[in-house]
Structure 1
Amino acid sequence: MLRPGNPEMIAPDRFDHLVLTVADIDRTVAFYSDALGMEAETRNGRTALKFGRQKINLHQRGHEFEPRALRPTPGSGDFCLIATTPLADVVAHLQDRGVAVELGPVDREGALGPMQSVYVRDPDTNLVEIAVYG
Structure 2
Amino acid sequence: MISHIDHIVLTVSDIEVTLGFYRRVLLMEEIAFGNGRKALKFGAQKINLQTLGQEPRNRAQVGSGDLCLITQWNLKEVITHLISENVKIVEGPVSKSGAVGEIESVYFLDQDENLIVVSIYK
TM-score, normalised on structure 2? 0.95
2:72 aligned residue: 84
Partner Cα separation in structure 2 for residue 112 and residue 84 of structure 1: 16
Match of 1:31 in 2: 21
The correspondence of residues 1-134 of structure 1 with structure 2, limited to 5 A, is 11-43=1-33, 44-62=35-53, 64-65=54-55, 68-69=57-58, 71-134=59-122
After TM superposition, what 4+ stretches of structure 1 lie above 6 angstroms from structure 2? none
Partner secondary structure for residue 21 of structure 1: strand
Give the CA RMSD over aligned residues: 1.0
- TM-score using structure 1 length: 0.87
Query: Percent identity among equivalent residues?
Result: 46
For the residue of structure 2 that corresponds to 1:102, the secondary structure is strand
* Amino acid across the alignment from 2:89: V
Structure 1 unmatched runs, 5+: 1-10
Q: After superposition, give the CA deviation of every residue in 1:58-85 in whole Å (9 maximum; x if it has no partner).
A: 00223x235x32x221000111000011
Segments of 5+ residues of structure 2 without an aligned counterpart are none
Paired residue type of 2:79: V
Deviation for aligned residue 1:13: 1.1
* Count of residue pairs brought into register by the alignment: 121
Select the structure of larger CA radius of gyration. Answer: 1
Equivalent AA in structure 1 for residue 70 of structure 2: I
